[in-house]
Amino acid sequence: MAKSNKPIIWGPFAAGGTVTALLTPVLILLTLFVALGRVPDGLAYDNLYAFAQHALAKIFIFVVLTLSLWSAAHRLRITCYDFGLRQDTLVAALVYLAAAIGTVVVLGSLLAI
Amino acid sequence: MAREVTCIFIAIYTVILVFGCVRLAQGREAYEQFLVALGAPSSIGFHLLALVFAIYHSVTWFNLAPKALPMHFGDKTVPPAAIAAAHYIGWVLISVALLLIAGAF
């Protein structure tokens, strides 16, 4: 029978990393189109606003953005440590606080749409 | 080292996305200003760099996936190459699907 896998504790970090890995490049490509003056139809105000009004879309946007935020915060913390910044508790407090603020901001914005 | 630097760009990009979400909630004018601001030369430069770093991050992440997620069926271990390949295929499908849904073509 299937053996249980060891790295279960990895859960949230792995989920965030995988979501980021799967979605970030294509999201950057989409906003790059915007930056170059070719706004994709789906990112025009009317279409994106209508999309974000669906409950499922809100959940999707919330999950993607918050997983990205927390995964980025966690990786920034590790990067600071690797670059020789050894005040890990302070760094952790700052990056996770930023991720928490981001989470609240995203939630508030989505609920206002 | 390079892998660490990628996360700074992805973190900044995530903040840009959160900001876009806020502007969308604030209404048409705010959101359209956000779209215009994305066209600044510094923003274009940032996007190009961030795209390269994000792709690099994805590739290294998927190559690590077989180690992070070893899978077994009965006594057999799924070959690491198959796990990595599944991630790559999923990556391509999701990217193309999102580009189509967003009307990028």
CATH class belonging to A45-113: mainly alpha
For chain B, positions 80-99, list CB contacts with chain A under 8 A: 87, 90-91, 94-95, 98-99
Q: Tokens representing A109? A: 């914005």
Cα distances (angstroms) measured from residue B56 to each of A41, A61, A78, B8, B63: 28, 24, 18, 13, 11
User: pTM for this one?
Assistant: 0.88
For residue A5, pLDDT over 60 is answered with: no
Q: What is the mean pLDDT of residues A23-52?
A: 96
CATH class belonging to B2-101: mainly alpha
E-strand spans in chain B? Answer: 72-73, 76-77
Q: Does residue B30 belong to the interface with chain A, where contact is any CB pair within 8 Å?
A: no
Rounded Cα distance, A45 and A43, in Å: 6
Rounded Cα distance, B37 and B51, in Å: 18
DSSP SS3 for B43: helix
Chain B hits for A72, Cβ within 8 Å: 7, 10-11, 14
Please indicate whether, in this complex, the C-beta atoms of A31 and B16 are within 8 angstroms of each other: yes
User: What's the confidence (pLDDT) of residue A1?
Assistant: 42
Question: How many residues appear in chain B?
Answer: 105
Enumerate residues 6+ apart whose C-beta is below 8 A from B45. Answer: none
Check: CB of residue B46 under 8 Å from CB of residue A111. no
Stretches where chain B sits below pLDDT 70 are: 1, 69-70
Q: What is the mean pLDDT of residues A13-40?
A: 91
CA-nearest residue of chain A to B40?
A35
For residue A3, pLDDT over 50 is answered with: no
- Please report which confidence band the pLDDT of residue A29 belongs to, taking 50, 70 and 90 as the band edges: very high
User: What's the confidence (pLDDT) of residue B12?
Assistant: 95
CA-nearest residue of chain B to A38?
B104
pLDDT tens for A38-72 read 999 999 999 999 999 999 999 999 999 999 999 88
Q: Among A5-9, A105-109, B3-7, B63-67, whose mean pLDDT is lowest?
A: A5-9
Share of chain A above pLDDT 70, in %: 88
Q: Among A16-20, A72-76, B98-102, whose mean pLDDT is lowest?
A: A16-20
H/E segment holding residue A1: none
Give the start-to-end residue ranges of the domains of chain A: 45-113
Q: What is the mean pLDDT of residues A80-98?
A: 89
Chain B hits for A100, Cβ within 8 Å: none
User: What's the confidence (pLDDT) of residue B72?
Assistant: 73
Check: CB of residue A34 under 8 Å from CB of residue A43. yes
Q: Does residue B24 belong to the interface with chain A, where contact is any CB pair within 8 Å?
A: yes
User: What's the confidence (pLDDT) of residue A11?
Assistant: 63
| pLDDT greater at residue A79 or residue B16 | B16
Rounded Cα distance, A68 and A82, in Å: 21
Q: What angle do CA B102, B10, A7 make, to 5 degrees?
A: 100
